[in-house]
Chain A
Amino acid sequence: MTIVELSPFSMLVPLIASPLCALLPGRLWPWLLTFAAAVASAVIAAITLPAAMDGTLSYAFGDWRPPIGIEYRIDAANAFVALLVSAVAAVILPWAKTSVDREVPERQGPFYALFLLALAGLMGITLTGDAFNVFVFLEISSLATYALIAHGQDRRALLAAFRYLIMGTVGATFLLIGIGFLYMMTGTLNMADLAQRLPELRDTATVRVALAFIVVGMGLKLALLPLHLWLPNAYTYAPSFISVFLAATATKVALYVLLRFTFTVFAPDYSFVALPLAVVLMALAVAGMVVGSWVAIYQSNIKRMLAYSSVAQVGYMVLGVSLVSVTGLTAALLHVFNHALMKAALFMALGTIAYQVGSVRIEAFRGLGKSMPWTLTAFALAGVSLIGLPPTAGFISKWYLISAAVEAGHAWLVALIVITSMMALIYIWRVVEAAWFQRPAEDAPAVSEAPLRLLLPVWVLVAANFYFGIDTRLNVGAATAAAEALMSGIPGGTP
């Protein structure tokens, strides 16, 4: 079996494991199967990445040759995002076992089955080379996600899931309309084929409208500022494990789809010229950075605070995209990777605190620095990465973003990036201040340090934040290769 034949299995393994998982009884077996599937998926994605960086891999399903058949087309950009998604799933699952046992005590078989379905959907979106497949996988992962969010203990989780369902479906339907217009004009759904046929039709209104629909639809999915309203509640009320997974992967995959359409399907010299996309995306990204950070400062629920911080971080990624240069794209993709590391670490530390203390409101943090030093230190160190101080992964992505902004001649953006990073410092500091410089409330129950099975995975991710801040060969190398692949505008390098 060659690597090309192996590559689709990183999506197929979770997909096949999912129905099996739904049938398994008890608590241990569903988790074991899920963990095995996620690890297998991550290993396959890890094998695929180096091969995809050497040259584009193409797998024709059922041996129907593209563009007639459905193709999986894997270049540096997809392989990078696919590895990120599956690796995050594999790394957070050992932590999930304990947390899920507490928060979703019953019927864990279906719960983990939904998780596998969401994972398979996200992998499918990243790997496929067929525009309609993107829509189908987007809906598979979204439907699973709505159900997962509804598993939260608070009754508001239901409300959050319902609102996400409405907004998410509108977003996905917009994408479908865009794909429909493209199909009407070109008669093909294969992305590489679309990219070849679109240049002749670039001056038609239909193609411009298709681009607009796709950008707005994916803007909804990736929570770009005015379209972000579903995100804070969805992250806040979902079970801790699901918050970790969604914060680290879901919006990133949506960003990848946006990149794939604006850069590969409609080459960058079209998308950013036919519509004033660069200006619009930059304005929305800046607004997202400022408003997201500003609102985060005033949240008394720390999970909600991190959710608003995610809105701001999506702003950084989109800002990198809006600069339309290799450096800008590298910064965006690098931040996709690094933000997954830091937000996963932060949400996991927070989930650990929720497990021990039973609350994630700021009042509950008073004096926790003494009773749970390891957890709170992990939270603070991941926070340092979020702020972007050296030598953390967060610093590397901010560094690239700033150099991209300078390169594009937007010096004012540098000031803005520094200011919003200071705002991140303020909201992380609020937690640190409450944990170490305030006395616990009189009636607060005594809490002890979290068990090792929760602490260890958190610290692994915190260590990764520092590792990828010092040894940047893997993340910067892969992000640069992915950015170059996207910028070249040729679908997945040379065919």
Chain B
Amino acid sequence: MEWLGYFNYWVVVALMMIGFYGVIARGNMVKKLMGLGIFQTSVFILFISAGKIIGGSTPILREGVTVYSNPLPHVLILTAIVVGVATVAMGLALAIRIREAYGTIEDDHIAMQEAAEDGRQSESAR
């Protein structure tokens, strides 16, 4: 049962792989962004797991508390979450603009449109 001690790290690895799979395997841009979100969240959990001590308290000086959790990873992750929010917002904004420009956010549909356009261009050049 030793592996249970690393339970949160197993969760991190599982989430990381799920998220990464979503980013790589899905053609829909919103699904790609969801995968990216899961991928980033797994890293947040990784950091927070490192800072937590079982039985540790919040890092505020109080009577009768001697064990504190490390607050620094939480603070770092607060920054990383803000960065993640900005990235997803930026990605969604781009997805909206792509939808306006192409009428779809599926990678393979866009690739077909691009191929058709390239064909027309090389014909007109000839």
Chain A residues at the B interface, C-beta cutoff of 8 Å: 132, 135-136, 139, 143, 146-147, 150, 155-156, 158-159, 161-162, 165-166, 169-170, 173, 176-177, 180, 183-184, 189, 361, 363
Contacts and interface: CB of A to CB of B under 8 A. Distances in A.
A132 B46 CA distance: 15
Of the listed residues B23, B79, B90, B97, the one surrounded by the most CB atoms of chain A closer than 10 A to its CB is B90
A162 B91 contact: yes
B87 A158 contact: no
Contact of A146 (B23, B94, B125): B94
Interface string B70-108: 000100100110010011001100110110011000000
Contacts of A166: 23, 32, 36, 91
Nearest to B33: A166
Contacts of B50: 180, 183-184
B113 to A, nearest CB: 10
10 contacts: A132-B76, A136-B79, A150-B94, A155-B101, A158-B94, A169-B87, A170-B23, A177-B46, A180-B43, A180-B73
Contacts of A176: 43, 80
Given A166-B91, A361-B125, 17 more contacts: A132-B76, A139-B86, A139-B87, A143-B86, A146-B90, A146-B94, A150-B97, A155-B98, A156-B114, A162-B29, A162-B94, A169-B36, A170-B23, A180-B43, A180-B50, A183-B73, A183-B76
Nearest to B29: A162
Nearest to B35: A166
A276 B82 CA distance: 36
Contact of B110 (A150, A159, A170): A159
B56 to A, nearest CB: 15
B47 interface: yes
Of the listed residues B47, B83, B86, the one surrounded by the most CB atoms of chain A closer than 10 A to its CB is B83
A161 B95 CA distance: 10
Contacts of A136: 79, 83
A161 B114 CA distance: 16
Given A156-B114, A165-B87, A180-B50, A170 B125 contact: no
Interface residues of B, number: 29
Contact of B43 (A146, A161, A177): A177
Given A132-B76, A183-B73, A363-B125, A139 B83 contact: yes
Contact of B98 (A135, A158, A177): A158
Query: What does DSSP make chain B's interface, helix, strand, loop or mixed?
Result: helix
Given A139-B83, A155-B102, A169-B36, A161 B46 contact: no
Of the listed residues A135, A173, A177, the one surrounded by the most CB atoms of chain B closer than 10 A to its CB is A173
Contacts of A361: 125
A235 B49 CA distance: 39
Contact of A143 (B40, B47, B73, B87): B87
B43 A147 contact: no
B39 A170 contact: yes
A136 to B, nearest CB: 6
A361 B122 CA distance: 11
Contacts of A146: 90, 94
Nearest to A138: B83
A162 B98 CA distance: 9
A173 B98 contact: no
B47 A180 contact: yes
Of the listed residues B23, B39, B87, the one surrounded by the most CB atoms of chain A closer than 10 A to its CB is B87
A162 B32 CA distance: 10
Interface string B8-52: 000000000000100100000100100010011001001100100
Contacts of A158: 94, 97-98, 101
Nearest to B110: A159
Contacts of A161: 94
A177 B76 CA distance: 12
Contacts of B95: 162
A169 B94 contact: no
Contacts of A170: 20, 23, 36, 39
Contact of A159 (B36, B90, B98): B98
B31 to A, nearest CB: 11
Nearest to A142: B87
A161 B101 CA distance: 14
Contact of B90 (A147, A155, A173, A184): A147
A147 B89 CA distance: 11
A177 B15 CA distance: 14
Nearest to B98: A158
Nearest to B49: A184
A165 B90 contact: yes
B72 to A, nearest CB: 8
Contacts of B43: 173, 176-177, 180
Contacts of B23: 166, 170
Contacts of A180: 43, 46-47, 50, 73
Contact of B39 (A135, A155, A173): A173
B123 to A, nearest CB: 13
B79 to A, nearest CB: 6
A331 B31 CA distance: 43
A169 B79 contact: no
A143 B20 CA distance: 20
A184 B29 CA distance: 34
A165 B23 CA distance: 11
B40 A169 contact: yes
A385 B77 CA distance: 45
A161 B76 CA distance: 27
Contacts of B114: 156
A143 B84 CA distance: 10
